[in-house]
Amino acid sequence: MNVLLIGGPGSLMDNLIIKLNKEGHRVYLLTGKRYSKDPYQKVFEQYNFTYDNSCLNEIFESVGPDLTIFLGAYDTNFQWRDENSTAVRFSASLMNLLMGYAMQEHGRFLYLSSEAVYGEHCPEDITETAETNPVSLKGMTLAQGEEMCESYRKTRGLDIITLRLDHLYSIPKRRRDVRDLCSEMCLEALEKKKITYREGCSQSLLYETDAIEFIYRIGACREHKSSLYNISSSREFSQKELAEIVRDAMGNAAQITAADDFSDSQRIVLSNKLYDSEFGNPFFCDINDIVKKIASQMLKDSNAFLTWEDAKPPLRERILKRAGWLVRVLLPFVENLIAFIPFFMLNNRAVGSSYFANLDFYLLYVLLFAIVYGQQQATLSAVLAVAGYCFRQMYERSGFEVMLDANTYVWIAQLFIVGLAVGYMRDQIKKLTLESREEREYLLQQLGDIQDINVSNVRVKDALETQIVNQNDSVGKIYSITSALNQYSPEEVLFYAAEMLGKLVRSKDVAIYTVSNRSYARLFSSTSVKARMLGNSIQYTQMGEMYDTLMDKKVFINRKMDERYPLMANAIFDDRDEMQMILMVWGIPWESMTLGQANQLVVISALIQNAVLRANRYLSALENKRYVEDTQMLDTEAFTSLLNAYLTAQNKGLTECTVLQVDTGEQMKKDTGKQLTAKLRQTDYIGILADGGLYALLANTSREDAQYVINRFAEIGYKSHIVEDNAVC
């Protein structure tokens, strides 16, 4: 299925990608950043867009995800240092993602929350029905996100599930990854040689890889009963016990002390019973081993944890940085003051000049700064110009006379009107220019986003076309190969089915067992010695986990690499739900033991079953013509055809058989055949060849094992001997 992961980089995201790729799913990633240079492993397509981008709907439409996972509380795009702004951004982002998902009305949406939605002491394990009571702004925001998801689920009828992870912890790689209690205690022990714990506080800890297994089970399930699940290890630890584990892992170099500023007990443990009742409880990693790995990582790479990566710059650098900002603000004023001096001198020189008497240098000065800097500097320039004008007029007249002169006010009005008008126009033109530039940049960004999505869609389309046309395991190629079974005779179908199965799953070691009764199955055909390692006869009901899985009509995958079982196996059932055949595969690489490979084996088994069913129906229709009347002895034509099929398959290494010729003497072959049939297995045959002799075909029997059958025949008075292959062909 197509899976869309939404969140920033981190070990949780990396491990989710690895898990989903391991199970054979196609992974898409929405990073939540416009420019993301973080490397990801085996991502089919990566979208570097923020959560508020208007192209979010196009991304959901392009991916068409069957499963969407939003990391939510564990999204590293939200650092929660400034809780107020982060809370607003988180809620808006979740709303946009839910709207994009709801537009498609397809697939499942998982929202990851945390134990932070509960902040008060609870003596009992907290179930899903308990009301949230957050004490922090982060917990309140996460709880509101849960309510938002539930509202969308009810009103729109969508498949939205909220998962609360209980005190998730992981192995950090650097200081900024230290977010959980285990890592914080290890870091404190590394830095201060002491570990502080809160008396009476306890919680349950959930390791990251365990959480991923929980998440995948819910994401991949077909049906679920609830829209909210607590995910917890249900293993309670007090902080003091955890501090002792950390101290031992750090080499007993740290001293354990109780915190002085906390006296009330606090217990927050989520109940995992609802999840266990539906999906079962997977294996949990041992906390002692994980803490040892955390301690080893910190001790090995201590520089990455002891050095603050985001430390403040030195005081001198901060002063210079702020001084630079101040200089940029004051520079226009300084320029204005400096420029006033030459214009003042020019105006004084122009007075009394026949050439420049009518030239107003102050007006030019005001216009210059109005055009360059706008109204603000035009006002300052006009004030300085008025001061300069009045100062020059006072050379010849008193200040009182200058103030009473109407020409002075006319000139001042002219100066301010022209300067402010030009400054206002300049500010408006600049504002329009900036707005048009921003609009252009926005449209270019939108165009770039659309181009990126289009390029991504083209790449995905080409990849899917290539996969459909060229891949070896496409449905078309599987059908074209398995349909070739129809060209073989009914007796040959199962032999070449093993060879064909090996070709499709790319394994040289394949075996097909036919069920002879409710306990045992006989080897019918195999492609190698390794495929025959279980023997010619197996008691499949005693094969433990493999038998249980096959009886549930599921593909058995030997994830524990148990040498007693094949790496993959699948059973074929008839219309009465009785097991008829078991297909076993060895010799496939670990990375191919995925859900996708298992589904492929189911498809191949169904196509093989159709071919076998056709062959059996054909043989059943001709049953009266194949056997000698009132016996289980094949006539010459039927036995010759069957014998040729076995010998041909034996020459190709698909089976092993032995042919016995029976000395019947003067007795009737019909009576002899009845007696000999009682001494043979259901998979062995008695028949007559063209020379009139009576022969027995022992399937999957070596020459040494054939001696047991010869002795049985001798006990009832019939001598027999092994016939070479070329003697009966």
pLDDT digits (tens, 9 = 90+) for 365-393: 888 888 888 888 888 888 888 888 787 77
- CATH among 3.30.470.30, 2.60.40.60, 3.40.50.720, 3.50.50.60 for 2-165: 3.40.50.720
Q: What SS3 class is residue 359? A: coil
pTM of model > 0.75? no
228-231 and 159-165 strand pairing: parallel
User: Which H or E element spans position 514?
Assistant: strand 509-515
Listed residue (574, 573, 557, 577) closest to 565, CA to CA: 557
Mean pLDDT to the nearest integer, 668-690: 77
Residues 6+ apart with CB under 8 A from 89: 78
Residue bearing tokens 């008839």: 574
Between 11-15, 147-151, 157-161, 252-256, the lowest mean confidence (pLDDT) is in 252-256
The CATH homologous superfamily to which domain 623-728 belongs is: Reverse transcriptase/Diguanylate cyclase domain (3.30.70.270)
- Most confidently modeled range among 136-150, 162-176, 297-311, 564-578: 136-150
C-alpha 232/C-alpha 669 separation (Å) is: 73
**What's the mean pLDDT in 526-534?**
86
Average pLDDT over residues 565-570: 90
Give me the CATH topology for the region 476-621: Beta-Lactamase (3.30.450)
Torsions phi, psi of 225, nearest 5? -95, -20
CA atoms within 13 A on the CB side of 40: 28
At residue 415, the pLDDT reads 84
Where is pLDDT greater, at 113 or 300?
A: 113
- Greater model confidence, 462 or 307: 462
Query: Considering the chain, what is the average pLDDT of its residues?
Result: 80
Q: Counting every residue, how long is the chain?
A: 729
Query: Phi and psi for 36 in degrees, rounded to 5?
Result: -120, 120
The structural domains of the chain, with segments of one domain joined by +, span 2-165, 315-441, 476-621, 623-728
Q: Can you give the pLDDT at residue 535?
A: 85
C-alpha to C-alpha distance for 128 and 538, rounded to whole angstroms: 47
Contact between 33 and 77 (Cβ < 8 Å): yes
Residue 20 burial class via C-beta count within 10 angstroms: exposed 0-12, middle 13-18, buried 19 and up: buried
